């Protein structure tokens, strides 16, 4: 029975997340009401409040999904930056609508900082640069590469004729290394 309950919870959360994406296409998060979100998702408000306190909590949960995936992917592929970037780009492409909303609509302007402050990203970078630069140069280089790669990915996400994740990851690796 618990597996069925877990599936039901996951389905409800998925419906709420999909509906929030749908509504974010139409208006900013400050103008989305819980009533409207629940009606469109066909979910009872009591059920919504069982999992989330507000539409902002739902958005945070969605961002945390992305952050968790990035964390896991970077940790798993630390030795191969190109594979890491390719897997991340594939994930973003599979979640294109939300990724575009997140980077274009400023629904959470702090999101890039949340990404760049992930310890696993810094650790991976430091492993690849170990001993090549002094501490100050390493810090500047980290920011230059991370923010630059982020902007490249933003441009890529907004392009209608995107390169493949493989092509983009190879390009970022060539530029960054």
Containing domain of residue 12, as a range?
A: 2-53
Q: Does 129 lie in the same domain as 163?
A: yes
Mean pLDDT of 48-58: 96
Q: What is the spatial distance between Cα 9 and Cα 91, in angstroms, rounded to a whole number?
A: 23
Alpha carbon of 35 to those of 15, 50, 67, 97: distances in Å? 14, 14, 28, 23
Q: Identify the domain boundary among 33, 53, 73.
A: 53
26: domain CATH number is 1.10.10
pTM score, whole prediction: 0.84
pLDDT in tens, 77-132: 877 888 888 999 999 999 999 999 888 866 777 888 888 888 888 888 877 776 77
Query: Phi and psi at residue 164, in whole multiples of 5°?
Result: -70, 155
Q: Does 86 lie in the same domain as 30?
A: no
Q: Identify the domain boundary among 10, 33, 53.
A: 53
Q: Does 139 lie in the same domain as 77?
A: yes
For the chain, what percentages of helix, strand and coil (3-state, to nearest 5) are there? Answer: 80, 0, 20
pLDDT in tens, 146-171: 889 889 999 999 999 999 999 999 99
Q: What is the DSSP letter of 30?
A: G
Q: Does 83 lie in the same domain as 136?
A: yes
């Amino acid at each position: 029975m618990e597996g069925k309950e877990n599936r039901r919870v996951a389905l409800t959360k998925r419906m709420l997340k999909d509906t929030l994406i749908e509504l974010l296409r139409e208006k900013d998060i400050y103008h989305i009401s819980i009533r409207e979100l629940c009606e469109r998702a066909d979910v009872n408000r009591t059920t919504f409040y069982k999992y989330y306190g507000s539409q902002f909590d739902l958005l945070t949960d969605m961002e945390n999904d992305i952050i968790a995936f990035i964390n896991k992917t970077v940790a798993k592929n630390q030795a191969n930056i190109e594979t890491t970037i390719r897997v991340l780009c594939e994930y973003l492409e599979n979640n294109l609508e939300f990724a575009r909303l997140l980077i274009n609509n400023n629904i959470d302007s702090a999101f890039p900082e949340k990404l760049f402050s992930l310890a696993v990203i810094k650790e991976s970078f430091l492993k690849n640069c170990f001993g090549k630069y002094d501490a100050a140069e390493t810090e500047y280089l980290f920011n230059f590469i991370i923010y630059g790669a982020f902007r490249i990915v933003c441009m890529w996400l907004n392009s209608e004729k995107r390169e493949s994740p493989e092509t983009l990851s190879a390009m970022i690796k060539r530029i960054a290394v």
